[in-house]
Amino acid sequence: MPPIVSKTVSFLVTVVATMVGLLFITFVIGRLMPVDPVLAIIGERATQAQYDAAYKALGLDQSILTQFWIYLKDVAHGDLGQSVRTGQPVLHDIARFFPATLELATIGTIIGVIIGVPLGVLAAVKRGSFADQIARFVALFGYSMPIFWLGLVGLLIFYGILGWVGGPGRIDIFYEDMVPPVTGMILVDSLLAGETDIFWNAVSHIILPASLLGYYSLAYISRMTRSFMLEQLNAEYITTARVKGLSERQVIWRHAFGNIQVQLITVIALSYASLLEGSVLTEIIFSWPGIGSYITTSLLSADMAAVLGGTIVIGLVFIGLNIFSDLLYRFLDPRASR
């Protein structure tokens, strides 16, 4: 078998095994939760006969392995089940909620990269200086502060007191359902519809939660950038480049920074993935209708079909980002494909 085919097969097996393992763990945890999924469907006033019929219809009278196997077969056919809470197919709910999280996390990551990377480079170049201390404090503060606390303080100051930003939600109630959903991302859809007033209203709502996520992201990105740059700046080839008379700008950005790009790809991809699956508290505080709040609410309602569907999406996001990172590796460093 050719090496490339062998690597592809090995990768696909790993992906499938990871997804199945993730789903199985989530499935078992859902069955062990002290919440009765039958009562969540039929209500507490149902008769015993109704309870028994629903219990059997859900397949809960069979072993966990059998239940899980049935669920896997449904997933393979594109059926993620129906949400008990919303009454809609889970796939429909995910298509409605995930774009909101994607929009929020993408802007947060962009903020984190634009500020975090230069901040990390500056801290490494000015190691031990006042600028380095400030950069390290900013990163440590962002990494240590609970994001829900920052969200509440941000709402109090910038929305409640100053009125600089929009309140909770993606958009003012007045503008709801005025833009036809194309991508599900309100900023994109409002521009496609030519509704600039709605676009700027959506910007006022997303700027605060996205900035908080961006601050959390830049704290991680700047710390890792500083660490990578310090390692490169202490290398012998940097001393050689300076002896040859290269400018400090060329030494820093062309040589040192050029050699950490591949490492930064992994850091940024992981940061992006963590915002996509870890923005639950931010979404709850800002009443943001994203996948994180959807999964959390579904979990509290014992709506395991919705929880498992969300788990599949998050797992696919991580896998997709890993594949994208690998492709960028090969583009930036052809040696990685050997």
| Mean pLDDT of the region 35-52 | 75
pLDDT for the residue 104: 92
Mean pLDDT of 293-306: 82
| Among candidate residues 53, 76, 99, the one where a domain is terminated | 76
The most confident of 52-56, 198-202, 300-304, by mean pLDDT: 198-202
- The pLDDT value recorded for residue 201 is 92
23-32, 139-148, 153-162: least confidently modelled range: 23-32
For residues 268-272, average pLDDT: 88
> Which are the contacts of 3, defined by CB distance < 8 A and separation ≥ 6?
none
Average pLDDT over residues 32-38: 71
pLDDT reading at 335 higher than 70: no
Residue 50 has pLDDT above 70, yes or no: yes
| pLDDT at site 3 | 63
* Average of per-residue pLDDT values in the chain: 84
- Given a cut of 60, is residue 244 above it in pLDDT? yes
Q: What is the pLDDT of residue 293?
A: 85
Residue 204 to residue 187: CA distance in whole angstroms: 11
Percentage, residues of the chain above pLDDT 90: 20
Q: Could you tell me if 258 and 267 are in contact, meaning their C-beta atoms sit under 8 angstroms apart?
A: no
Specify if 329 maps to a domain: yes
Domain match, 205 and 301 both: yes
The residue-averaged pLDDT of 93-116 equals 92
Q: Is the pLDDT of residue 239 over 90?
A: no
- Whether residues 104 and 214 fall in one domain: yes
What percent of the chain is modeled with pLDDT above 70? Answer: 93
Domain of residue 9: give its range.
3-76
Is the predicted pLDDT of residue 39 greater than 90, yes or no? Answer: no
Q: What pLDDT was estimated at residue 222?
A: 92
> Does residue 85 form part of some domain?
no
Q: Letter for the amino acid at 262?
A: V
Here the CATH number for the domain that contains residue 274 is 1.10.3720.10
Distance CA 129, CA 122 (A): 10
Q: Are residues 236 and 305 in the same domain?
A: yes
- Tens digit of pLDDT for each residue in 136-157? 888 888 878 888 888 889 899 9
Say how many domains are in the chain. 2
One domain, residues 110 and 250:
yes
Angle at 232 between CA 247 and CA 114, to 5 degrees: 80
Q: Is 83 a member of any domain? A: no
Single-letter amino acid code for the residue at 333: D
Q: Are residues 66 and 119 in the same domain?
A: no
Averaged pLDDT, 10-21: 78
- Residues 123 and 64 grouped into a single domain: no
- Does the predicted model carry a pTM greater than 0.85? no
Pick from 100, 17, 40, 137: which is nearest to 290 by CA?
Answer: 100
16-24 own/partner pairs: CB under 8 Å, 24+ apart: 18/315, 18/319, 19/312, 19/315, 19/316, 19/319, 20/72, 22/311, 22/315, 23/68, 23/71, 23/72, 23/75, 23/308, 23/311, 23/312, 23/315, 24/68
Whether 181 and 70 share a structural domain? no
What pLDDT digit, counting tens, does each position of 179-212 carry?
A: 888 888 999 999 998 889 999 999 999 999 999 9
Of 98-107, 131-140, 157-166, 274-283, the poorest mean pLDDT is in 274-283
Confidence (pLDDT) at 336: 52
Last residue of a domain, one of 76, 99, 119: 76
pLDDT of residue 142: 81
Query: Where among 14, 45, 76 does a domain terminate?
Result: 76
| pLDDT score of 23 more than 60 | yes
pLDDT, tens digit, 9 for 90 and up, residues 248-266: 888 888 888 888 888 888 8
CA 200/CA 215 separation, integer angstroms? 22
Q: Are residues 185 and 60 in the same domain?
A: no
Average pLDDT over residues 274-282: 81
Q: Do 202 and 53 share a structural domain?
A: no
